[in-house]
Structure 1
Amino acid sequence: MNKETAILSALEEVKDPEVGANIVDLGLVYGIDAEADGTAVIRMTLTIPECPLAGEIVRDVKNAALSVSGVNDVRVKLVWEPKWTPAMMNDNAREEIRALRQAGH
């Protein structure tokens, strides 16, 4: 498994606290570059630009990426183009959200 794939896998543990699904399944991660010096550059967006939990999500992304062997620094670049839409979610996110709603969350 290459480092980008390992980082993406680690990011599957990061949930959007408001939505309840992980940021990978939600389609919020636009790209990952693992540089030779151990820096991971993660390009991602949020469901809305004014997300009140942006700081928490970015912190969780950094911590998840730092858990990958060989990653010693993480830069998160929040981007707003292309704008996120629900169409970017995969079926896993849709099922997770549906299950949470049915459970009354």
Structure 2
Amino acid sequence: MLTKKDVVDVLMGCKDPELDADIVNLGLIYGISIAEGKDVKVTLTMTSAMCPVTSLILADAQLRLEGLPGVGKVELDLVWDPMWNPDMMSDELKYRNT
């Protein structure tokens, strides 16, 4: 049976190559639901609607989630509301270069 922690852990390996940071700590994950212990739906956003690496990030996340043992259907729901802003980043990322 999959847990939200399993999903978060695997998504921490999915990085935005332009920012060299994972999508979890960037604050791009808005929600995770798991149905019947195996079907995963992740609601997420990008840093910008014009993000040139959106397709790469989504493909990487999809592949990583599909590789989880026991996973069923994987759905990524890309949303733009609320719009992402730097305040959504983890404190670790906000202050890593200060």
TM-score, scaled to structure 2? 0.88
Q: How does 1:24-63 map to 2 (within 5 A)?
A: 24-36=24-36, 38-63=38-63
Mapped to 2, the partners of 1:45 and 1:22 lie a distance apart of: 13
Q: Per residue, is there more strand in 1 or in 2?
A: 2
Q: Per residue, is there more helix in 1 or in 2?
A: 1
CA contact (8 A) 1:10 1:67 kept: no
Tell me which residue corresponds to 2:84.
84
Root-mean-square deviation over aligned CA pairs = 2.0
SS in 1 for 2:30: strand
Q: 1:27 to 1:12 in 2, by over 3 A?
A: same
**Is the aligned partner of 1:12 residue 2:9?**
no
Structure 1: runs of 5 or more not aligned: 100-105
TM-score, scaled to structure 1? 0.83
**Percent sequence identity over matched residues?**
34
Mapped to 2, the partners of 1:92 and 1:22 lie a distance apart of: 12
Offset from partner CA, 1:29-85 (integer Å, 9 cap, x none): 001111117221110000001111111100111112122222132111001111100
Mapped to 2, the partners of 1:64 and 1:94 lie a distance apart of: 26
Give the 4+ runs in structure 1 shifted more than 6 A: none
Mapped to 1, the partners of 2:76 and 2:95 lie a distance apart of: 27
Counterpart code for 1:3? T
Mapped to 1, the partners of 2:30 and 2:39 lie a distance apart of: 17
Q: How many residues align?
A: 98
